[in-house]
Amino acid sequence: MTFPDQFRPRLNAIAREAGAFLLAERQKFSLDAIEYKGLNDLVSYVDKECEKMLVPKLHALLPEAGFITEEGTTEQADRTLGTPTGLNWIIDPLDGTTNFIHGLPIYAVSIGLAQGSHPIAGVVYDPNRDECFSAVEGQGAWLSVNGADEQPMRVSPTQRLADSLIATGFPYYRFEQMQAYLQILEQLMQHTHGLRRMGSAAIDLAYVAAGRFEAFFEYNLKPWDMAAGICLVREAGGIVTDFNGGDTTLFGGDVVSGCAIQPELLGVIDTIWRQ
C-alpha cells in the first residue's frame, strides 16, 4: 500500500490528541469509575470515550479501512478475534488501563493498521513522557520526544542474550500455562541482565524498537495490544514471531520480539513452552 506524505504526521497528531485526553481525565479520575469485563480485566469510561474520539478521526484519515477495537464502542468497531482480511485499524485507546487506574504513569495510546494479519503502520504515544513512536512499512521507525523533530529508531545492537535486558508481562487470566511461564522467567533471570514488567505491551514493543529493551515476550495478548508495536519493531530492524517462531503473532496471542538476540531468546521459550 502507498501512503501519502502526510499520513504518518496526521496519524501521530490523532494519537497525541487522544493522549492529551487521557492525561486530563487522569487528573480527575475516581476509582468508582472502574468496570470489570472479566477476571482482572479492567475498563473505565476513559477507555471508551477515548476510543469514541479515535474512530471517526481514523475513518476520516483512511475511509476504506475497517476497525478492530478493544472496547467495541461504535458501530464501525469489530471485536471478533478471528483473522480478518482486508485493511483494518486495530486500536487500543488506553493500553495499560490498570496502571492508569492506579495512578502509575505507564500507559499509552496504541493505533495499528493491518492488511489482514500483517501490520503495515502504527503509532504508540506515551502522554506522560510525551514520546511518540511511529512507523509505516518501508519508511522506517521514528521517535519524537516533547514535540521535537523526529529521530530514526533502531533496535539494540546487542548480540547475546546474556547481555540483554528483557521485558515481559504477567498473565491475568488463563493461568493453566503459568508453570511453564515461570520456568522461562527462572531461566532468563539467571542468564540475562534482568527482566522488567511495565504493564503496557504497546510501550514494551516501542521500547524494543527504540533499543531500550533487547526483547519483549508475552502470551495471552490481544491484537490491539500488539498491532502498532509489531510494525515499530520490524521497521526498526527487529524480529517478531510467535512462541513457535511462526507468523501468527497478531491474532495468535503470543509474541517474541527483539533485536539480534531474538532467535536465542525464542530457543529458550520454545524449548520450555513445548514440554
- pLDDT tens string 168-177: 998 766 677 8
Query: What pTM, to 2 d.p., does this model score?
Result: 0.92
Q: Is 143 annotated as a binding residue?
A: no
Domain end position, chosen among 152, 173, 195: 152
Helix H or strand E segment including 92? strand 87-95
How much of the chain exceeds pLDDT 90, in percent?
74
Q: Is 94 annotated as a binding residue?
A: yes
Cell of 84: 480478518
Please check whether residue 189 is in contact with residue 195, taking contact to mean a CB–CB distance below 8 angstroms.
Answer: yes
Full domain range(s) for residue 267: 161-273
Total domains, the chain: 2
Per-residue pLDDT tens over the stretch 178-206: 889 999 999 999 999 999 999 999 999 99
Per-residue pLDDT tens over the stretch 7-55: 999 999 999 999 999 999 889 876 666 666 544 455 577 888 899 999 9
CATH code of the domain covering residue 257: 3.40.190.80
Burial classification of residue 212, based on how many CB atoms lie within 10 Å of its CB (0-12 exposed, 13-18 middle, 19 or more buried): middle
Q: Is 95 annotated as a binding residue?
A: yes
Q: Is 70 annotated as a binding residue?
A: yes
End-to-end CA distance of the chain: 41
Query: Does residue 130 sit within a domain?
Result: yes
How much of the chain exceeds pLDDT 70, in percent?
88
φ, ψ (nearest 5 deg) of residue 118? -110, 110
Together in a domain, 195 and 137? no
Together in a domain, 19 and 130? yes
